[in-house]
Amino acid sequence: MATTDDPTLDLTVLKINLDHFFLLINGLVVFLMQCGFAFLEAGSVRAKNTTNILIKNLLDVFLGAMAYWAVGYAFAYGDPGNGFIGHSQFFLSEIGEDESALSSFFFQFVFAATAATIVSGSMAERTEFKAYLIYSVVITGFVYPVVSHWAWSETGWLADGINGMVVLGFQDFAGSSVVHMVGGVAALTGAAILGPRIGRFDKENIDKGSHQGHTVPLVALGGFILFFGFFSFNGGSVLAISNPGDGIVMARAIVNTIISGAAAALVSLGMGKVLYNTKKWSLLTMINGGLTGMVAICAGCNTLYPWGAFVTGVVAGAVFIGGSALVFRLRIDDPLDAVAVHLGGGLWGIFSTPWLARGTGIFFAWNGDAFAGWGWNLLGALVITVWTAALSVLLFGGMHILGILRVSPETEYMGLDEKEHGEPAYPIMAYVGNDSRNAANGGANGFPATAFHPESGAQGKDNEGLDVAEMASEREAADVV
């Protein structure tokens, strides 16, 4: 390794490299959360839409990378910029010969990709693929970057604080509002304009779980990966590790994340058992409750005491249960419960952090500055909600008017895997066999003559009443053509 005669200079170089390495490693862990979202969403949709939701999660990365490289990073952190938006460094130009912004770009990109991923879950199983391509680029390239500029750039109006007093600036350390509320509001708006899946709220289906996801193990695996990723999502938001106290702040953020997530998971599990008609211990409710707690603690994970994280998590668990019930009562179809998790959890985190922040929070200081900081957070949450909702109405409403937002009823019945991609995740012939002997022997080769459809609750029918044999013959005819 090259060295210099000045040990101070060597130490400075080491510190700079450590900070870059810190951002890249934590960015890679947050990137893994895309895998968690993919598993969570794939398990939460019906089998006939698995390929569709997986390709969308992959494109959140690929499309997001292009959009954020081209314009997103410039809008978010382009310097110079103004209080509203950045306006330089498009396509990562003008970043300097030392390319010191590259590690920051990667870390911020994986956050941007998360915001778009939230939306795809709420609009799953009935959205046109071309519509997904449009909204993914717009959210990653413009809607989210502008909000992150407000809250996290040096020139953003929210970060600048009240009358330029940064000490009273916006309190959102890791994105309760910047990432999760943006994703949650866009998801709520999109799902409302898109409308529910066919039959979702029909009287004969509403209490029978006819639109349940097809594999709980995938949901659980995705949940575990997301829980793991949140430690870097929150802890890595320190953005550096070489300054005095950085390690302590990161440790505090990680400890608070697990405490809040655990408390929320347990509360949601218990409330689901008591309040839901099934009176069962629900794994899916517990997973979503835990995620809500980790979303809520994003805002204050660097400043709260552990007991504050516990309070945040307890309330977050109840927020998830209440938010999920409210969305259902409004007849808004959200297959992932993403609105309750991300909008509900994010809003609670932004609301509670100015109360619970150590030393400066209302519970500790009880002075004008503390209440002003709370008001600034509420104002920020309101403006972020209005901004995201307004752009989402224009975006999704425009596509709805143009007739490109939702797939046809035939496509929705048959499944997007087959109609949109021609690649079913669970080909029927893999279950029934593809030779004539199996049919002649009535299933003697180990497969039943009439397939048990992987998303069906009854032999030979999918959960919308379509005959599996008829679907198979249609697919075989398509293959011949």
Left (φ > 0), alpha (ψ -120 to 50) or beta: where does 91 sit?
A: left
What are the pLDDT digits (tens) for 94-115? 877 768 899 999 999 999 999 9
CA gap 185, 195 in Å, rounded: 15
Phi-psi group of 410: left, alpha or beta (phi > 0 → left; psi -120 to 50 → alpha; rest → beta)? alpha
Residue pLDDT, tens place only, 50-87: 999 999 999 999 999 999 999 999 999 998 889 999 99
> CA-CA distances (angstroms) from residue 161 to 165, 169, 360, 386, 387?
5, 4, 15, 19, 19
205, pLDDT greater than 70: no
**What integer pLDDT is reported at residue 59 of this predicted model?**
97
Residue 478 has pLDDT above 70, yes or no: no
Instruction: Mention every residue, 6+ apart, whose C-beta is less than 8 A from residue 92.
Output: 69, 73, 101, 102, 105
pLDDT band with cut points at 50, 70 and 90 for residue 295: very high
- 123 compared with 2, residue with greater pLDDT: 123
Average pLDDT over residues 321-327: 97
**How high does pLDDT run on average in the chain?**
89
- Of 7-11, 199-203, 362-366, 384-388, the one with minimum mean pLDDT is 7-11
Task: Give the CA radius of gyration of the chain.
Answer: 24
List Cβ neighbours of 190 (8 Å cut-off, separation of 6 or more): 119, 122, 123, 135, 392, 396
**In the structure encoding, which two tokens stand for residue 374, read together?**
């709370």
Confidence (pTM): 0.89
Is residue 444 scored above 70 in pLDDT?
A: no
Residue 308 and residue 356 in contact, taking contact as beta carbons nearer than 8 Å: yes
Residue 192: the pLDDT is: 98
Alpha-carbon span 285 to 195, nearest angstrom: 23
* pLDDT tops 70 at residue 435: no
The phi-psi region of residue 459 (left if phi > 0; otherwise alpha if psi is between -120 and 50; otherwise beta) is: beta
pLDDT at 208: 53
Phi, psi of 399 (to 5 degrees): -70, -35
pLDDT of 244 strictly over 50: yes
Convert the pLDDT of each residue in 222-236 to its tens digit. 999 999 999 999 999
Q: Return the structure tokens found at 289.
A: 């409750």
The predicted pLDDT at position 450 comes to: 39
pLDDT at 277: 76
Q: What is the pLDDT of residues 250-264, one digit of tens each?
A: 999 999 999 999 999
Reference 62, options 109, 128, 125; nearest CA is 109
State pLDDT tens for residues 339-350: 999 999 999 999
47 burial type by CB count under 10 A (0-12 exposed, 13-18 middle, 19+ buried): buried
Predicted confidence band of residue 469 (pLDDT cuts 50, 70, 90): very low
Q: How far is CA 480 from CA 79, 474, 476, in A?
A: 57, 10, 6
In terms of Cβ atoms closer than 10 Å to its own Cβ (0-12, 13-18, 19+), residue 88 is: middle
Per residue in 165-187, pLDDT tens? 655 689 999 999 999 999 999 99
Band (pLDDT 50/70/90 cuts) for residue 464 is very low
